[in-house]
Structure 1
C-alpha cells in the first residue's frame, strides 16, 4: 500500500495542532519559545494543508505556502509510530515535484538546529543556506532541467 495526500479540512485542525505540539514541544522548551494554539490555528487557516495517509490511516500532515519563487514547507509532521517508514521521504519528493510543476524554482523550509530531521532533508537534496536564531534555513532547487 502506498502513501497518498488528501486535502485537509477544518476537522483535521485539532489532530494537526496536537501532533505539532507533541513533535515540537521539546524544541520550544529547549529554545525558550512559547507555544500558542491560537498562533498555530491562524497559520493553519492561511496555508495549504494536506493530510499524509496510507490507506485509511492518517500518518501526519504537511502545511505549505508559496511566493513567486518557492514552495515553503511550514509544517511537516508524522505521528511517532509512523516515522522511519518512508513517508517523510515520499512527501518531500512530492513537494519537490509540486514546486517544479507550479514553475517554482525552490523548495524551502526551516528546521530547528537540533532536530535530527535535518539529516533526512539533506539526504533528499535540501542544503543549509542560512540561519535564523535556533533554525536552519534549507532549500532545494526544483527547476526543470534542459532535457525536460
Structure 2
C-alpha cells in the first residue's frame, strides 16, 4: 500500500467534519456531550490538517497542533471501510517522527474507544485522565544531526 499524507484544504473541511461526527457520535451520546459543527470549524481553522491517502483514495484525516514540548493529535479518523489496513499505524509512526522536533507525541482518547489499544501498541502510554478521556503520550527523542 502506498500511504501518504496530503495537506487538507478548506474544501476538505466538510468531509472531515462529517467523518468526525460519524466516528465520534456514539461517544458523544455515551458521555452526554454535544456536537457542534461551528466548534469543529473553528478548531479546523487553527490546526494543521492532513488527509490520509492510499494512492488517490482518501482514507481519513488527521488534525494536529503543537507547542514547544509536544505535537498533539487532535483528531485522527479513518473511514470505516479503510480501517484495519495498516494506515492508522502508519500515520502514528509518521507523527512520532514529526514529533521529534518537540520531543513528545500526545493525544486524548475516549476511555471506551478501542483505538486506545492501537495507541498503546505503538508506544503511547496513559499518563492521566480527564472525565471520559485518557491522556496518552509517547516520547519521541530528538535525533542528533549527523
User: Residues 73-132 of structure 1: CA distance to partner in whole angstroms, max 9, x if unpaired?
Assistant: 0000000000000000000000000111xx211000000000000000000000000000
Question: Match of 2:40?
Answer: 40
- C-alpha spacing 1:30/1:72, structure 2 compared with 1 (3 Å): same
SS of the residue corresponding to residue 14 of structure 1 reads helix
Aligned length: 146
Q: Distance in 1 between matches of 2:142 and 2:14?
A: 37
- For 2:123, the equivalent position in structure 1 comes to 125
Name the counterpart of 1:111: 109
| Matching residue of 1:84 | 84
Unaligned runs of 5+ in 1: none
Runs of 4+ in 1 over 2 A off after TM superposition: none
Which residue of the partner structure matches residue 27 of structure 2? 27
Q: Could you give the per-residue CA deviations for residues 11-55 of structure 1, whole angstroms, max 9, x where no partner exists?
A: 100000000000000000000000000000000000000000001
Deviation (angstroms), 1:145: 6.1
Q: CA RMSD in A?
A: 1.3
- Does 2:64 align with 1:64? yes
TM-score, with length taken from structure 2: 0.97
Secondary structure of the residue aligned to 2:128 is strand
- Residue 136 of structure 1 aligns with which residue? 134
CA distance in 1 between counterparts of 2:139 and 2:110 reads 21
